[in-house]
Structure formats: structure tokens, C-alpha cells
Amino acid sequence: MRRWRTGLGGCCLSAVLLAGCGGNPERAEAPAPDAQAAPAGESAAAGAGERMVAVPTAQANRPFVRANLDKLQWRATEGNTLGVQTAILEGDPSKPGYYLTINRFPPGVMSRPHYHPDERHCIVLKGTWYTDEGDEFRPEKGIPLKAGDYMRHPAGGHHYDGALEEEVLVAISGYGPTSATVLDGGELFGRSR
């Protein structure tokens, strides 16, 4: 069962990466001036109101990257003092383009109701991540997602999430620049217990 769950987590992370690489055309930023164009003979038509964007995986000369969870460089998320940390695996969430991060929530800490300007794709890597939608902070009503489970946060969707009894690691991908706007204007993170 353990081996199957690990395989499922890998498959789910692959799905997030693929979903992230597909982009969200309605919210996509224009490609950077130095972005490579598609090779001649390869074209894709954008529908009405959609824009095509260059994604990092379209660059043929990018090297392979491998990252070990126990060797990542962690930093405080959003300047909090409650121990929530972020490791950036790809891109820069504060700039236009694709990003992939991992957030680490210590036991008993959750984000408070907030929203993001971009759509985000999330996969739980470790622990049970509790999530809920809306403007009211009710940690006891959070919906549990276990390692390997997936959640999509729509752009502008009011939500909160985090840990209750155990440390939680969540992979998050999207197209920046991203930010978090706390609904009541206070701190992004609070105690869930």
C-alpha cells in the first residue's frame, strides 16, 4: 500500500506540472521579450479572448533538474512568524511566468481567508492538508486532503488552508506574478488550534 501511495503522489505531481504547463490563457501574461518563439511549422491558434504564452518547457536547451525534499532551501512564507516556509523549485512567483513551490505548514497553523490573482494547482506531498472556501475562518470545518490529493484554486477564489495535527507539505504551481490578499487586511497566517 505504501509503494502504491508513493506512486500515486508522483503521478499527481506530474499532473500538476502538466496542468501548470498548459497555462490559463484567460489570465496569461504576455511572453517576456527574450522568450523563444515556437519553431517554424509549429503553430497553435488561440481562441477569442485567449493569448498564447511561452512556457519554460518550450525551451529546448533547459537542463534536467532534480531536487531532494530534505535539501531544499526554505524561507519564511509572506514574512510570517508562525513557521510557514516556502521552497521555490521553478520560476519566481513574484514575476510573470510559471512557478512551482512547496509550502511547509507546521502543526496548528493555517492561512486565513484570502485570495490570489492567479489560478493555482496544489498537490499534498506530506501530511493532511485542511482546506475550506469562503470568508469565515473555521479551521474545524476544513476538508482534509491527504498525500497525493489534488486541489485547484481558481483565480480570485476566497479560501484558507493549512495544518491541524501534523506538519504538511504542499506543492503549488501557477503563473505569476502571484500574491495573497487577506480579506480582513490582517496577517496571512494564524493558529488553527
Lowest-confidence region among 15-19, 24-28, 89-93: 24-28
What is the pLDDT, as a whole number, of residue 3?
44
Tens-place pLDDT, residues 113-168: 999 999 999 999 999 999 999 999 999 999 999 999 999 999 999 999 999 999 99
| Segment 39-65, tens digit of pLDDT | 433 444 545 555 555 555 566 788 898
CATH of region 2-27+67-191: 2.60.120.10
Which backbone phi and psi does 79 adopt, to 5 degrees?
65, 20
* pLDDT for the residue numbered 53: 54
Q: Distance between CA 163 and CA 168 in Å, rounded?
A: 6
Positive or negative torsion for Cα 46, 50, 51, 56: negative
pTM: 0.72
| For the chain, domain boundaries | 2-27+67-191
Cα separation, 38 vs 40, whole angstroms: 6
Percent of the chain with pLDDT over 90: 63
| Buried/exposed code over 28-38 (b: 16+ C-beta within 10 A; e: otherwise) | beebeeeeeee
Question: Can you tell me the mean pLDDT for 20-24?
Answer: 42
Contacts of 92 (CB under 8 A, 6+ apart): 99, 176
